[in-house]
Chain A
Amino acid sequence: MSLVFAGVASHAPGITGREERAPRAQRDAFYAAYEAMRVALDAARPDAVMIVAAEHFANFFMNNMPAYAVGMSDEYDGPIEDPEWLRIPHRVIKGDADLSQRLIRGLLDHVDVAYAEEWRFDHGIMVPLHFLDPDNRYTVIPGNINCQGPPLTPLHRAWAFGEAIRAAADALPERIALIGTGGISHWPATPDSGRINEAWDRAFLDKWVANDKAAMLAYTDEDTYRDAGQGGFEIRTFIATAAAARGKGTLLHYAPIPIYAVGCTAATMEIV
């Protein structure tokens, strides 16, 4: 039928794995925003949820790194990390190879993507799923934008990927939801973990909420690396989501939580 829901959310592993080390009120406020997003997603009655994340060498490595990849399997599993470390129990997640294949055919009309018939979800998908699909009900289509191993896809191509998702989803009879996960500024897994550039984040989110394509595509990786860390490269998932949705965003939550290593974000975007 169409794209029926779009949103973005943080996926940092500390959100679950170190949940008790944040001030309780900060944690609860962010968790409540994720819950509000879950309710909104549920109300959109999606037949499948496409989660476009920026994975961290769980499935894709520098021996054969796709700039863009989409899963095409009837079944996935995760987390690939130690479930006790991430504090998310292992689960098998429903996929739909036939739906994926039809979606991928639509994408290929516009952009080149790799497909993967095997995919083990890391925290980039599992943390959002933990909050948005606690009962493991949804059919999931994983997507990935390489934000880890340079050279990285340019931002204008991330936009084109999002536009292609919209065109492909609109041509399907199924109701598709899209969730982009990642960043914004952060220096994860380094000694700087916990450093967050709140001003940079808020400026980016203003542009995202306004769906200001020109402003979002004006960032350079050089500037992003300097001001927002290597974690900032994950703005690609936000940009793709904005390109697919075309509308204005609603910021449900933004607050830096240093022990989670990220400015914790949840937002939805109108489909126009």
Chain B
Amino acid sequence: MSLYQLSKLLYTLNRDESAKQRFRDAPAALLDDYRLTAEERAAVLAPDIGLLYVLGVNGQLLMHFAALCQIEWSDYLQQMRDGVKRHGPVRAGIYAMTTSPDEKVAG
């Protein structure tokens, strides 16, 4: 697992306009700049917010990636819950879910 590389990609996408443009125009080529596993790569390209969450991406990075992908706030929260249902508990990091996948806290 290369969570650092995955996180760095999302960090760059959050702050760099040219990276955002590359992500829109030729996402696969942009991803080649990062050493990602096949699972991580597929999750970004889909985009599979739920899997990215389970892989351990920090929520502060994931929240902005979801916004970049035009995913509305409530849908963002739901996709993370669905990801935990589908892929199991969060595997790394400090943003693990503390409620149950069927619980809806707010939004």
Contact = CB atoms under 8 A, between A and B. Distances in A.
A175 interface: no
A185 B62 CA distance: 20
A195 B98 contact: yes
Given A120-B15, A150-B94, A230-B95, A189 B107 contact: no
Contact of A258 (B59, B99, B105): B105
B35 interface: no
Contact of B8 (A63, A150, A189): A63
Interface residues of B, number: 31
Nearest to B62: A189
A14 B73 CA distance: 10
Interface in A70-112: 80-82, 85
Contact of B97 (A62, A188, A190): A190
A17 B107 CA distance: 13
Contact of B77 (A57, A191, A229): A191
Contacts of B64: 81
A193 to B, nearest CB: 6
B59 A190 contact: yes
A2 interface: no
Interface in B19-76: 53, 58-64, 67-68, 73
Contacts of B94: 150, 225, 230
Nearest to B94: A230
Contacts of B14: 57-58, 80-81
A148 interface: yes
Interface string A189-228: 1111111000000000000000000000000000001000
Interface of B: 4, 7-8, 11, 14-15, 53, 58-64, 67-68, 73, 77, 80-81, 84, 94-99, 101, 105-107
Given A57-B60, A190-B98, 10 more contacts: A61-B11, A62-B7, A63-B8, A82-B68, A148-B58, A189-B59, A191-B81, A193-B107, A225-B94, A261-B106
